[in-house]
Structure 1
């Protein structure tokens, strides 16, 4: 019986999310979000580090050829917009695969 009670209590506690609670009469959120909103003109960015110079050069060449916006960060990592993640992943995987096949 204790196990059932514990599971029920845990389900109730984790299932209740006040972030999404809305007042039924006014359709206004009951809890104001503390997280800042991301402005559309501020694209989300990501980066990765490639220490192998041959693979890095191949990735940079392919990013240029395919017109993917990218840049080099102060720490040497390659930065890119999150919307291009799928294309960057594909380019990096192909470059790594070619490098491995030539070894």
Structure 2
């Protein structure tokens, strides 16, 4: 078993003493009427909204970067920085369960 698989299995609570991952089985959604824990449903909807907002911010930053290309070097640099940070934020939101699993493995 490779390192990442072992990490995810342990954080998933497979019986080897690891803490159970609270995000196991939770996916970003917009469906309020799903069955299950109300807190996790609210979290999943909030998570989905954050992903949509991150995508919108990334798209607007890319458009600003494209418009400032050429003679507007200062605006291009600012737009590029926003693109980088919004891409990092989007990646973090999409990879949230893996990040949580890693933290559980590291400290749990």
TM-score band, normalised by shorter chain: under 0.3
Question: More strand per residue: 1 or 2?
Answer: 1
The structure with higher relative contact order (CA 8 Å, sep 6+) is: 2
Higher Cα Rg, which structure = 1
